[in-house]
Structure 1
Amino acid sequence: MNPLPSIHFVDYLIMFLTLVVSLGVGFWFSTNQKDTDNYFKAAGSIPSWAIGISILATLISSITFLAYPGEGFTSNWIRLVQGLMVPIVLVAIVGFVVPLFRHVIQLSTYEYFEKRFGFFARFYTSISFILTHFSKMGTVFFLISLALSKMIGLDTTTIIWIIGAAVIILTMMGGIEAVIWLDVIQGFLLIIGGIIALGILLFTPEGGPVAVWNVAMENGRIGFGPFDWDFVNLTFIVMALNGVFYAIQKYGTDQTIVQRYLTAKTDKAAIRASLIGVLLSVPVWAMFMFIGTALFSYYQITGDALPADIEADAVFPYFILTKLPVGVVGLILSALMAAAISSLDSDLNCLSAILMEDYYKRIRPNSTDKQQLMMGRIFIVLAGLGAIAVALFYVQAGSEGVLGIIFTLYAIFSGGIAGMFLLGIFSSRANKQGLYWGIGASVIFTGWAVLTSTPIGLEGHESILVDMGSLNYPHHKYMIGVYSHVLLVFFGYIGSFFYQGNPTDTTLTWKGWKARMKQLNKA
């Protein structure tokens, strides 16, 4: 690839100030962190609009910042379909799910599953969250550092340590208050950076937005198809089904979102915050997807040459460095860095909350709040260092090797969480013995599907982890999650008929909770 132009001092200064502000926010809120209620829930004092922006910033990571433009550059908008399903699902469940969690759990989302199905359900779901977000954090650290390394010339390992240290310090010092208010700043920075980049892409080429749109249409970059009823290839129906279960799992079982519900002042404020977060996320996802579309049209119209060996995800960074003026480059690189920080700080605080609530307090039930607060901070440091270690492993060995095996096993043994949520919410007949049937079916299916569809080896010389010939999993990989949730619901429900479990607390189900709320409103 042709060498990229060097970054101007002004751009470096803007990025440096972004890190300084991030740390400053952490120290500003550190004086409020006297107990775990403030540290993990902000004592329910955050306004709904700020929580909504925080949800947006958490959902929009640096991966989105790079991957969505890459997708828009090479394809149409089919991968946006997943995000389009989120508001549809959320509108249907938010009025019930948000108040339920605010009244049923203390801090951990997975307390609900213990109350509904017993301790194993809580352990299974919480360890799934830990592994998911631990692996995600390492990946985000690695990808953002790799991207910035190519763009600004610093060593990847150095960038990992700089961003990692900043995220650990600000999260450890400021608690969830610092996380949310920093997310507000970073959310606006992300949106502003995207709008500036899109504006330049639309109005710089000859013919303006109309020409950009026409070129994109002529080359198949506009649309959400194919619309075939086909589960083998990437189609609209595959992405739509995947999006439905993604929304259920994210808003019904993910600590990073549910913990936000607890920081609001009232149930109505928490519901409003959830809607704000989602209704802002969809247009931001769409904006970054369209940035990729506009990038394709821009280079078609202007005739400017791209390096021959450039990858799709690198086109947007290349455009930033070669086409944008001094200062704007620093602003957009700061937005890229902010997207990573806003995702990582949330993960760290929520990982600490789960380790504290689901494990430490169970092992040390008589620990004082002061001890719990100290351990919460220690967990943040340990989780952050662990995520940095994962990123450094990627630097040395790529995504293959031991970590690839670990994350494959995680994918197998953490399936069906959204299915468990649906089973618990909508079936008063379901019990913990039946749930074991569902988990067993989900694990067996997911293990078979993952192992018989995951390629290994170099491109062009790939094989499958476990090749069973005609018995290999035949459908698109995005359907694995859909099937695992459906299987858990089906077998969990059927299996429950073979056991006489304890009577279900009806307030933990949709029907019972609605009846309780109706009675309370009458009173």
Structure 2
Amino acid sequence: MNFIDITIFIVYLLGVVVFGSSFYRKNKSSKSFTVGNNNIPTWVISMSIFATFVSSISYLALPGQAYLTNWNVFVFSLSIPFATLLAVRFFVPLYRSVNSPSAYTYLEKRFGPWAKTYVSVMYLLTQLMRAGTILFLLALTVNVITGWSIVVIIIVTGLSVMIYSLLGGIQAVVWTDAIQGIILVLGAVVCAGLLLFSMPEGPGQFFSIAMEHHKFSLGSFKLELTSSTFWVVLIYGLFINVQNYGIDQNYIQRYMTASSEKEAKKSALYGGLLYVPVSLLFLFIGTALFTYYTANPGLLPADTPADKVFPFFIVNGLPTGLTGLLIASVFAAGMSTISTSVNSSATVILNDYFKLSADDENSDKKSMKILYSSSFIFSVLSIAIAIAMINVQSALEAWWKLASIFSGGMLGLFLLGYFSKKVKSKAAVIGVLAGVLIIGWMSLSPLFFTSDALQPYASPFHSYLSIVFGTTAIFIVGFLGGVFINRSRLNSANQ
């Protein structure tokens, strides 16, 4: 990187921190910290929802996947309109009526404290691992591009996000998210255009090479559950995106920042739908990279992994200035996701674990101390996890997998509580246990059922379907358990 690119990147980083921190003057109460006093513009919330969905992982992984295979992963995006419509129809009105900054207050009212505790603990563990993983991968990518120390990149990035997230609260998070979302889209558009018009024989060569290698394929349409067919990815995407837009604190909290239910619905819909064309843009970049290096043999080292091709092009294929812009775009994607995790986790900790009396004159000051402390501790732990991943990735990946297994029961529990009004706490517990067992069996089969003797007991299904089967099991077992328990009580009462 030359001086101009480094300057653009540093100016971007400092600009985000200064801009986000400037909201400190508007961030004097717990309500402003968590929901922005319910007066944030709709377009800003929409861009924030979009930017939260696009992490630096997807910014680099989607082009890498399209470079390596085809557009099968785009089927995941095709499920988003269905998920956002469900969120608009059912979940946004629900959370606005509950009127709590925490998405998990509803579960406490529905099933009792255990449900709120279970879901919120799983959420916090998931967010810690997510923030740490994104910090690590972000630093790894920038290290490849610049040669800077991974540890230094992790610490500087983590502290930068912490400063403006802590000082500016949710207002800083959503406004910086909106700016970062615009930057990452602009960076991707510029990169796609340069690739398309850099083909030796013109843009037409891009399509001829891509078609020849079946790069636009959406996958097999076979009705099987053992591979990532079109239908498997579509069903998986529907469940994951309903979980994201329907029960994830990162998104629910944004619905609460809108001025009205109508504006919250608009934000959920627009923020979700924006990801569909942008994900297509990322896949286009991956295919363009494939055609570009196919048409220009020798430019790309033969042993370059698929997920490193885009960073290689950023450094070696872009003109001066644009390299700095693209690195800023990658950082924008990562920082927006991490800042969301910091603020949302602090909000969950305050609302789900501290009961402050409204009659206490100092309750808001105490709330702000809790929010500041939680943001600080979460940020430090995320940095520590990211640094630990440099040397102990296997242990942390195991923790990540276990946290994902246990958090897999969240969606089923919400759906059970919302659509089965007669199901009570005991039946819900039985349902969650059944679902988590199924998710664990499907997720851990590749690790533990490898010998010939145990192979017949391994899951034959694609790993994408674990959340599908797990969520379905929670709902069905919980519903049937509720029917059985209610009948038993009724029979006992009649005897």
Tell me the residue number matched to 2:457.
Answer: 471
Are positions 1:312 and 2:289 aligned together? no
Are positions 1:232 and 2:218 aligned together? no
Q: Distance in 2 between matches of 1:305 and 1:264?
A: 49
Contact 2:357 2:363 in 1 (8 A): no
Written as runs of structure 1 = structure 2, the 5 A alignment for 1:134-283 is 134-283=128-277
Tell me the residue number matched to 1:492.
Answer: 478
Q: CA deviation at 1:450?
A: 2.4
Q: 1:408 to 1:364 in 2, by over 3 A?
A: farther
Q: Which amino acid aligns with 2:439?
A: T
Tell me the residue number matched to 2:372.
Answer: 377
Of 412, 417, 425, 1:424 maps to 417
Q: TM-score, normalised by structure 2?
A: 0.95
3-state SS of paired residue (2:73): helix
Q: Distance in 1 between matches of 2:148 and 2:330?
A: 16
Q: Distance in 1 between matches of 2:273 and 2:337?
A: 18
Q: Distance in 2 between matches of 1:26 and 1:464?
A: 50
Written as runs of structure 1 = structure 2, the 5 A alignment for 1:429-440 is 429-440=422-433
Q: Distance in 2 between matches of 1:414 and 1:181?
A: 29
Q: CA deviation at 1:305?
A: 3.1
Q: Distance in 1 between matches of 2:397 and 2:390?
A: 14
Q: Distance in 2 between matches of 1:450 and 1:89?
A: 24
3-state SS of paired residue (1:49): helix
Unaligned runs of 5+ in 2: 488-495
3-state SS of paired residue (1:157): helix
Contact 2:239 2:468 in 1 (8 A): yes
Tell me the residue number matched to 2:18.
Answer: 24
Q: CA deviation at 1:124?
A: 1.4
Contact 2:356 2:363 in 1 (8 A): no
Q: 1:465 to 1:418 in 2, by over 3 A?
A: farther
Percentage of identical aligned residues: 35
Q: CA deviation at 1:89?
A: 2.4
Q: Distance in 1 between matches of 2:428 and 2:358?
A: 28
Contact 2:4 2:321 in 1 (8 A): yes
Q: Distance in 1 between matches of 2:272 and 2:440?
A: 32
Single out whichever of 97-106 and 476-485 deviates more from structure 2. Answer: 97-106
**Deviation digits for residues 123-173 of structure 1 (CA, Å, limit 9, x no counterpart):** 111111111111111100000000100100101001001101100111000
3-state SS of paired residue (1:89): helix
Q: CA deviation at 1:220?
A: 1.4
Q: CA deviation at 1:71?
A: 0.4
Q: CA deviation at 1:365?
A: 10
Q: Which amino acid aligns with 2:378?
A: A
Q: CA deviation at 1:27?
A: 2.1
Q: Distance in 2 between matches of 1:114 and 1:288?
A: 40
3-state SS of paired residue (2:441): helix
Contact 1:80 1:285 in 2 (8 A): yes
Q: TM-score, normalised by structure 1?
A: 0.90
Q: Which amino acid aligns with 1:491?
A: V
Contact 2:30 2:368 in 1 (8 A): yes
Q: Which amino acid aligns with 2:462?
A: H
Tell me the residue number matched to 1:448.
Answer: 441
Single out whichever of 303-312 and 44-53 deviates more from structure 2. Answer: 303-312
Q: CA deviation at 1:445?
A: 1.6
Tell me the residue number matched to 1:50.
Answer: 44
Q: Distance in 2 between matches of 1:291 and 1:107?
A: 38
Q: Distance in 1 between matches of 2:297 and 2:398?
A: 44
Contact 1:452 1:466 in 2 (8 A): no
Contact 1:73 1:292 in 2 (8 A): yes
Contact 1:438 1:489 in 2 (8 A): yes
Q: Distance in 1 between matches of 2:444 and 2:236?
A: 20
Q: Distance in 1 between matches of 2:73 and 2:180?
A: 24
Root-mean-square deviation (CA, aligned residues, Å) is 2.0
Are positions 1:352 and 2:338 aligned together? no
Tell me the residue number matched to 1:290.
Answer: 284
